[in-house]
Structure 1
Amino acid sequence: MTNVYSFDGILVFGLLFICTCAYFKKVPRLNSWLLSEKKGVWGVFYKAAVIGTRLHISVAICCVVMAFYLIFLK
């Protein structure tokens, strides 16, 4: 179990946030509702979705590496 206050927890949270926002971008109803703003606090969701869709290979590799680290090394 990782906590949010450790560096591992922050990395896991960031990866899951990027993956979730990229998934929201593929769902039409959630895309128009959650990712319509590009600036401000709600713009963080949009920017995470853009990172997730443009760098999907890198994000997937980071998720696999983080899962391997959390399961076997920690």
Structure 2
Amino acid sequence: MILSLYSSAVYSFDGILVFGLLFICTCAYLKKVPRLNGWLLSEKKGVWGVFYKAAVIGTRLHIAVAVSCLAMAFYVIFLK
């Protein structure tokens, strides 16, 4: 019963938005760590390039990402 409740939330639109925002914030944070920056964010193309592109989005649009995180937190805590 509990498993079915959580599996339905995986495919919701707000769940995808939360995952995307957390992924962008995590990659932007990992870009600031020198050891992980060279290892994880060195590729700019292919599958590993997704991490690099998310880190670039997080660092260049940091104000928009922060506002989106706050808006999504308000939505999840109070409206959902």
Query: TM-score, normalization: structure 2?
Result: 0.89
Rounded Cα–Cα distance in structure 2 between residues aligned with 1:3 and 1:64: 20
Are 2:38 and 1:32 aligned? yes
**Higher radius of gyration, 1 or 2:** 2
Matched with 2:29 is 23
Q: What is the aligned residue count?
A: 74
Are 2:72 and 1:73 aligned? no
What 5-or-longer segments of structure 1 have no aligned partner? none
Q: How does 1:43-54 map to 2 (within 5 A)?
A: 43-54=49-60
SS in 1 for 2:46: coil
What 5-or-longer segments of structure 2 have no aligned partner? 1-5
SS in 2 for 1:3: helix
Shift of 1:3: 2.4
Q: Are the equivalent residues in 2 in contact too, given 1:22–1:53 (CA < 8 A)?
A: yes
Query: TM-score, normalization: structure 1?
Result: 0.96
